[in-house]
């Protein structure tokens, strides 16, 4: 069988095994489904809608799916805690691709419903946060109900559980709902970042426009703990594109840091940084190296942090240890 490549690796993370089953945050009509359908391989695969982010991720861990698409962060509301926490805990999974999807929201109702008939509105917490101002101005007396996904909210409207839903226009089409208003987000041009997850496998080859994600668990709470982590990247000329603290959930005051940096695991400077973190942290979880999806220019690698410089330094040390001189 011919593997389906994405960024130099198979989507399943298993060489030679093309993914045929993709899990995603469902039900049908979510932004996650829209993100998944941007992948060419999805057109010939089985798409498995899951009721939650955790369920989508567990389906990959359990072998019920070959890969999963889940939201990781939004340009307005920030990270999706359920995804971040799932990646930091449980059986390791790898990010093999990121997808940036512009998101627009519509107020969906059953045909015939008018604004004055809306007493309950359902949506996902991130969607509610992105449309909070519009909802306050136009439906101040409606009660808000939070759902696992925007499409689940739309599905609930079709089943007469709620009067309206804030969801993607696609959900309106799927559940035969009418849009009373479109483009209701408070901030225009919002983007949600989705990631494609698979079981562990060899990293893809570097593309020159890569990003690496990991979780660093601090060994103990002490002054300068975060600075120690950041220094290992700074001294090697590695730029961070995201960093966030999350509680480890074992006791109050214990945190881990999830971060993204420019570069690839196979880049010498990134590999050296990860080895340094391994020495100073209680644990480091590698979450994958994959091509960047945005058009932001990569920062130039400092002259003292190129692969050639690292190779020269390694060769020099070997000569010294072998007594072969400088």
3-state secondary structure 259-278: EEEECCCCCHHHHHHHHHHH
Average pLDDT in the 75-100 region? 94
List all residues 6 or more positions away from 124 whose beta carbon is below 8 Å from its beta carbon.
146, 147, 148, 149, 150, 152, 153
**Is the pLDDT confidence value at 137 over 50?**
yes
Q: Are 152 and 52 in contact (CB under 8 A)?
A: no
Q: What is the mean pLDDT of the chain?
A: 91
Question: From its phi and psi, is residue 295 left (phi > 0), alpha (psi between -120 and 50) or beta?
Answer: alpha
**Is the pLDDT confidence value at 92 over 80?**
yes
Here the tokens at position 320 are: 């010294």
293: number of Cβ within 10 Å = 18
Residue 162 and residue 265 in one domain: no
**Is the pLDDT confidence value at 36 over 70?**
yes
What per-residue confidence (pLDDT) applies to 7?
37
What per-residue confidence (pLDDT) applies to 5?
38
Residue 323 and residue 213 in one domain: yes
CATH assignment of the domain containing 12: 3.40.190.10
Q: Is residue 188 included in any domain, yes or no?
A: no
Positive or negative, the CA dihedral 242, 194, 266, 282 is: positive
How far is it, in rounded angstroms, from Cα 15 to Cα 163?
Answer: 48
Residue 95 and residue 128 in one domain: no
**DSSP characters for 70-131?**
EEEEETTTEE-HHHHHHHHSSS--EEEEEEEEE---EEEE-TT--GGG--EEEE-HHHHHHS
How far is it, in rounded angstroms, from Cα 94 to Cα 289?
Answer: 8
Average pLDDT in the 92-102 region? 97
Average pLDDT in the 190-210 region? 95
Q: Are 300 and 262 in contact (CB under 8 A)?
A: no
Q: Which domain holds residue 132?
A: 106-182
Q: Looking at residue 28, what DSSP letter applies? A: T
Q: Looking at residue 191, what DSSP letter applies? A: E
| 3-class state of residue 255 by DSSP | strand
What per-residue confidence (pLDDT) applies to 8?
39
Average pLDDT in the 257-267 region? 97
Tokens 């959930």 sit on residue: 249
Residue 148 and residue 241 in one domain: no
**Residue at a domain's end among 123, 150, 182:** 182
Residue 219 and residue 249 in one domain: yes
Q: Are 261 and 270 in contact (CB under 8 A)?
A: yes
Q: Is residue 187 included in any domain, yes or no?
A: no
Average pLDDT in the 302-324 region? 93
Residue 314 and residue 208 in one domain: yes
What per-residue confidence (pLDDT) applies to 18?
60
Residue 112 and residue 146 in one domain: yes
Residue 124 and residue 34 in one domain: no
Q: Is residue 134 included in any domain, yes or no?
A: yes
Q: Is residue 146 included in any domain, yes or no?
A: yes
Residue 83 and residue 120 in one domain: no
Number of folded domains that form the chain: 3
């Amino acid at each position: 069988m011919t593997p389906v490549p994405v960024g130099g690796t198979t989507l399943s993370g298993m060489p030679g095994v093309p993914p045929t089953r993709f899990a995603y945050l469902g039900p049908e009509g979510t932004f996650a489904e829209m993100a998944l359908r941007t992948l060419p391989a999805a057109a010939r695969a089985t798409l498995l809608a899951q009721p939650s982010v955790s369920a989508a991720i567990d389906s990959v861990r359990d072998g019920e799916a070959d890969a999963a698409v889940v939201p990781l962060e939004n340009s307005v509301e920030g990270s999706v805690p359920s995804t971040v926490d799932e990646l930091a805990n449980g059986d390791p999974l790898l990010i093999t691709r990121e997808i940036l999807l512009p998101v627009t929201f519509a107020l969906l109702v059953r045909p015939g419903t008018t604004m004055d008939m809306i007493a309950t509105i359902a949506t996902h917490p991130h969607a509610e946060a992105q449309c909070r101002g519009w909802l306050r101005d136009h439906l101040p007396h409606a009660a808000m109900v939070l759902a696992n996904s925007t499409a689940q909210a739309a599905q609930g409207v079709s089943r007469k559980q709620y009067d309206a839903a804030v969801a993607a226009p696609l959900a309106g089409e799927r559940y035969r709902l009418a849009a009373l208003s479109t483009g209701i987000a408070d901030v225009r041009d919002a983007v949600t970042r989705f990631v494609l997850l698979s079981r562990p496998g060899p990293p893809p080859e570097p593309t020159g426009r890569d990003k690496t994600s990991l979780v660093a668990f601090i060994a103990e709470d002490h002054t300068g703990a975060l600075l120690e982590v950041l220094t290992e990247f700074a001294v090697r000329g590695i730029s961070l594109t995201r960093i966030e603290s999350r509680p480890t959930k074992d006791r109050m005051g214990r945190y881990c840091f999830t971060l993204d940096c420019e570069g690839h695991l196979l880049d010498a400077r990134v590999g050296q940084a990860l080895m340094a973190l391994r020495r100073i942290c209680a644990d480091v979880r590698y979450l994958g190296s994959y091509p960047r999806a945005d058009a932001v220019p990569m920062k130039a690698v400092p002259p003292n942090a190129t692969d050639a410089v690292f190779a020269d330094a390694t060769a020099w040390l070997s000569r010294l240890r072998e007594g072969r001189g400088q």
